[in-house]
Amino acid sequence: MSETATDIIIAGGGMVGATLACALAEQGFSIDLLERNQPQLQWNADNYDIRVSAISRASQNIFSNLQAWSGMVQRRVTPYEQMR
């Protein structure tokens, strides 16, 4: 087994963990992101779950700074009026 130097280890590659990993990597840190599941790099637009994530304006700004917001908008960003 070879050794590699890592500055920061992040457990969890969900929305928060992946965003943090991207932001820290852009600052020059060496990041290891631990995630149980394989990354889903492509998906069928007709096959999505019904979960809702509320994105604040501050989070939108973070995603924009990481050049991720435009890709999110293209895939499925819509306002919602109510939850049941």
1 pLDDT band (50/70/90 cuts)?
low
> Per-residue pLDDT tens for 11-64?
999 999 999 999 999 999 999 999 999 887 777 767 767 778 888 999 999 999
Cα(56)–Cα(69) distance, integer angstroms: 12
**Quick one: pLDDT at residue 31?**
97
Q: How many of the other CB atoms lie within 10 Å of CB of 63?
A: 20
Give the other-Cβ count within 10 Å of 21's Cβ. 20
Domains of the chain, by residue range, sit at: 8-37+52-76
Residue 44: per-residue pLDDT = 73
Q: Please give the Cα distance from 57 to 59 (Å, whole number).
A: 5
Cβ neighbours for 50, distance < 8 A, ≥ 6 positions apart: none
